[in-house]
Structure 1
Amino acid sequence: MAKVRTDLVVMGGGAAGVAAAVRARQLGARVTLIEAEKLGGVCMNKGCIPTKCLMETARLYWRIKRAGQLGLLIPNVELDWNQIMARKEDLVGYLRMGTEGVLKSNGVEILKGPARFETPHKIKVGNELLEGDRFLLATGSTWAGLGISGDTSPGVVTTDWLLDMRVVPQEVLVLGGGPVELEAAQYLSFLGAKVTMLEPQARLLPGEDREMSRRLSAVLKEQGLTLLTRVKPLEIRETERGVGLLVQTPDGEKNLEASLILHAARVPALAELHLERAGVNLVEGLLQMDAYLRTNQSHILAAGDVTGPPFYSHRASAMAILAAENALGSQQVFEQARVPRAFFTYPEMACVGLTEAQAKERGHKVRSATIPYSVNARAMMALETDGAVKIISEETYGEILGVHIVGPHATELISEAALAMELEATVEELARGMRLHPSISESQVEAARECLGRGIYVLR
C-alpha cells in the first residue's frame, strides 16, 4: 500500500540531494529524501572531504621536509597513521552528523534504503511504496571498470583504497590525468611513492588551457612525478612485483610494472533505478535532459553527478537548488559554462569559463594576459612562486571569457572570477578593483590590467 503522496521525492542524500531537499522545504514543499548508504554521498564519505583531509597532511609533510628554505630545521618528521586516519574519520563523522541535523531541522523526511521506480509516480524503498508528484534524481556516480583484460586484479585499486592506506606502496601507476587522478598521484608522491601517471591524450588536463596545464605539469615533474602522455592501457596482469600493464605508446607497445595500479573512472549511478519503468530515456548512457534539468518525463528532474561529468560537489549543489526550484514551478536554465573547475594539487589549479583555444574557436576576438606569481610579493614570501593568473577577454566589449589560475589558494581566488563573470563584469571593471597588499589576489587585478595593455609591474 502506497504512503500519502509527497510533493517531491529526492533520490539520493549527497551534495545534490541535501541541497535540493532543503531548498524545496524552504519553498513549502513536503519532501522525502531517500539514501541507500550514508548521508553526504561520495563527496563527504569517500571523496572531497576525506581525500582533501589526507592531502593536507601529505602536503604539510612534504613542505616540512623542505622547510630549511624558510630557515626552519625540523629533523625526523614521522607519520602517525593512527592519528591521520582518526582525524579523517572524525571530520567525516562530524560533517555527516551535521548534514542529518540540517535535514531534520528543516523538516525533511529521511528514508534509508535503495530506491527504484515501479511506475512514473511510484518508487519502492525496500518493501515500502512511495508516491510523489515530482522526483529529483540525485544518486551520484559509481565506480566504472577500465574495460581491459585484468582490470579486476587485486593490484588494481580506486581512490577509495587511499582512505585506509597505512603503508605507502613503492611504485604506483595512475591511469588518467584528470583532477582526481592528479590529486591521488601527488598524495602518494608526497608520502614517498614513485608515481607514474599515464594520460591517453597529448597532455594532462587536456580540456583546460594549454599554457596553464603545461605550467602545472612542469611543477609536478619537478616534484618527482613521472608523466607519460599518449599512452593507452591495453592489458593488466599480475607479476612478482605486483601488477604489470601493457600499454600502447606512439613508439609501440610497452610493458610497465608497479606495486599497484590506481584509477578514478566513474559513471552516473543509474543502473539500479529501473528508469525504464518510469519512462525515462537515456542517450549513450546519460540522462536525456533539457536546459531546465528535466528529463523527458517533465516531473522527473536530475542534478549532480548522476547527470554526468564534470563530477564536482559545488556543481551538484548549485544544480540541485535550481532543480528544486524548477520542480516547484520556476523556469531557470542551468549555466554549465559558469561552473568553476578545481584541482586540489599543490600548487592548486582552478578555472572558470573558456580556454584561450575555445574562445578563438567560437569566433571571439581575444585578448589575454598571464601574470606569473614570480612577481607577486606574497607568493615570494611563502616560496610559492610556481604559478600564474591568466585572463581571457573579448577585445571589443571587454567581456571576461575565462580565468585560469595555477598557484597558492587558486581554488579560493577563482570565486572572484566566477562572480565577476556571473555579474557580467568587464575586464575594465576587474582591472579597476583594489586588492590588499601584499596578497595573492593582486595578481588577478594585474592580469586584468595587462589584458588592456596597462599592467603596472610588467617589463616592457
Structure 2
Amino acid sequence: MATQTTTLLVIGGGPGGYVAAIRAGQLGIPTVLVEGDKLGGTCLNIGCIPSKALIHAAEEFDKVRHYANSSPLGIHVQSPGIDLAQTVRWKDGIVGKLTGGVGALLKKNGVQVVKGWASIADGKTVDVKATDGSTQRIQCEHLLLATGSVPVQLPSMPFGGNVISSTEALTPATLPKRLVVVGAGYIGLELGIAYRKLGAEVAVVEATERVLPTYDEELTKPVLAALKRMGVVLHLGCSVQGLTDTGNAVRVRSATADEFALPADRVLVAVGRKPRTEGFNLESLQLDTAGRALKVDDQCRTSMRNVWAIGDLTGEPMLAHRAMAQGEMVAEVIAGHKRRFAPAAMPAVCFTDPEVVVVGQSPAEAEHAGLDCISAMFPFAANGRAMSIESTDGFVRVVARRDNHLILGWQAVGRAVSELSTAFSHSIEMSARLEDVAGTIHAHPTLGEAVQEAALRALGHALHI
C-alpha cells in the first residue's frame, strides 16, 4: 500500500470541506482532500443548487401557464409545454459548471484531490480505496471530518422504487401524475411546490398540525395560503403507515386514528436529514457525540486532539453557509490564527413560494430568553415594488431590545425575500440599532424599503402605513 503524508487531510468535498481545503491552500498548509463521489457534496450536486434550478424552471413554466389564461398584464400565451428532459439537462449543466469550478479552485490553491472512499485507521491515518480497487494510505497532522448528511428513511417506507428522497426528486425522468410528499418541512414543501407548478397533483402529509413547523406560525400563514391556492392538498396531523399492498397508494392515519389511502405514482419522503457517520470507520475514534452528531467546541475541535469536524456532521443547523464558515475558520486556526465560531447571526432561507427568511431571534424566542423587546411588521401590500411584480403577500418583521433598540432578529416572508437575508445578517453582526436602519436611505422602488419601514414602525413613525 502506497503511503503519503500531509499536514491537513479533509474527508468530504462538500461546501465545508472544499472551502476548508481552499483556505488552507491559500495559507500555505499542505492539504489533501478525499472525495468518493463528486466535488461540491450534497449542496452543489443533489441539494441547494439543483433544487433552486428546478424551482426556477417550475416557476417559469407556471408563469407561462398563467399567461395562457387571462393576465392583467395583457400577456397571452398559447399551448405552453415543458420538455422535462431538457429541463434536467439545463439543471445538470449548472451543477457541472459549479463543480468544475470547485475543482479548478482547489487545483489553483495547491490542494491535492484524491478520488476514493476513506476509511479511518486512527486519528492521523486514513486509508482511501479508489474506484479502480487500489488503496493508498494517507497520514496527516490534522484530520478534518466534513462528511455531511444523508436523508432520513422511514422504517415503514424505505427508499426504493417509487419511494424516493430529494436526490431522486431532483432528476425526474418523468413527471408523476400524483405525488405524495411526506413531511411539510422546507425540503418537502420546496420540491412539492415545484412539482405542483410543473403540473403534478401533489398531496402533503405532515405529522404536526401545520406546515413548516420549525418556523413561527405568523411567517407560515402566507405559505399555507399559497399552497391552498395552488391546489396542494394538505393532510396535517397525520402519520404515514406505509404503502398499500398494491404499492400505488400511501396508507395514512389521521389524528382520530382513521386510516385512508392516498393514491400515489411517486412518494417523496422528506422527513429530515441526519449526520453521515457511517461507512468510514468513524466509530473507531470514539469521539464525543451530541445525539447523532459529533460534539465540537467553538473552534470545531472534537474530543480528540487535531481531529476537527464541521458542517452537517456536527448537527443543526444543517446549512451550507454554516459549513463554509466553519471550514474557513478551521483552516485559519490550524494556520495559527486566533478564531472561533460564534456568529451573531445565522440566516436560514426556505425557498417556498413565497420564500421565508429567518435571521436571529423571533419575538417568541426573545421573550423566552427573558428580553424585553419590541417588534414591528411592515406588509408588502404597502410596498410599491411588491405591487409592480404582482407579489403583495407577506411582510418584513424586526425584533429589537426595548431599552437600547439593539436589533436581535429579522423575519420575512414574500417573493424574493431571500435576497434581503444579507442585509438582515449585516445589521445583527454589526450591532445595528433601529435608528441605524431607519436612518439609512433605501433605494426606491425596492423590496428593501420594507426593511427600513419595519424599523421605522418599531420606532413609532412608519411613513407608508
Q: TM-score range by the shorter chain?
A: over 0.9
Q: What is the aligned partner in structure 2 of residue 261 from structure 1?
A: 267
**Equivalent of 1:438 in 433, 445, 465:** 445
Contact conserved, 2:241 with 2:250, CA < 8 A, in 1? no
Task: Give the CA deviation at 1:78.
Answer: 0.8
Deviations 1:167-208 (A, max 9, x none): 321222211121111111101110121212222223222222
Contact conserved, 2:434 with 2:455, CA < 8 A, in 1? yes
Q: Does 1:301 align with 2:308?
A: yes
**Equivalent of 1:71 in 67, 70, 74:** 74
Alignment of 1:25-424 (within 5 A): 25-67=25-67, 68-126=71-129, 127-147=135-155, 149-152=156-159, 154-239=161-246, 242-247=248-253, 249-257=254-262, 258-264=264-270, 265-335=272-342, 338-424=345-431
**For 2:320 and 2:157, how far apart are their aligned partners in 1?**
31
Task: Give the CA deviation at 1:215.
Answer: 2.3
CA RMSD of aligned residues (A): 1.7
Distance 1:40 1:424, change over 3 A: same
Task: Give the CA deviation at 1:336.
Answer: 5.8
Q: Does 1:451 align with 2:454?
A: no
Distance 1:209 1:433, change over 3 A: farther
Deviations 1:251-297 (A, max 9, x none): 22322322222123321111122123333233322102112211101
**Partner AA of 1:32 in structure 2:** V
Task: Give the CA deviation at 1:423.
Answer: 0.8
Count of paired positions: 455
Secondary structure of the corresponding residue to residue 140 of structure 2: strand
Task: Give the CA deviation at 1:421.
Answer: 0.5
Contact conserved, 1:339 with 1:353, CA < 8 A, in 2? yes
**Partner AA of 2:93 in structure 1:** D
TM-score (norm 1): 0.95
Secondary structure of the corresponding residue to residue 170 of structure 2: helix
Q: What is the aligned partner in structure 1 of residue 3 from structure 2?
A: 3
**For 1:24 and 1:250, how far apart are their aligned partners in 2?**
52
Contact conserved, 1:153 with 1:237, CA < 8 A, in 2? no
| Range that drifts further, 397-406 or 331-340 | 331-340
Q: Which runs of 5+ in 2 are unaligned?
A: 130-134
Distance 1:275 1:388, change over 3 A: same
**Partner AA of 1:139 in structure 2:** T
**For 1:358 and 1:337, how far apart are their aligned partners in 2?**
15
Contact conserved, 1:150 with 1:237, CA < 8 A, in 2? no
Secondary structure of the corresponding residue to residue 240 of structure 2: strand
Task: Give the CA deviation at 1:2.
Answer: 6.4
**For 2:302 and 2:413, how far apart are their aligned partners in 1?**
37
TM-score (norm 2): 0.94
Contact conserved, 2:240 with 2:250, CA < 8 A, in 1? no
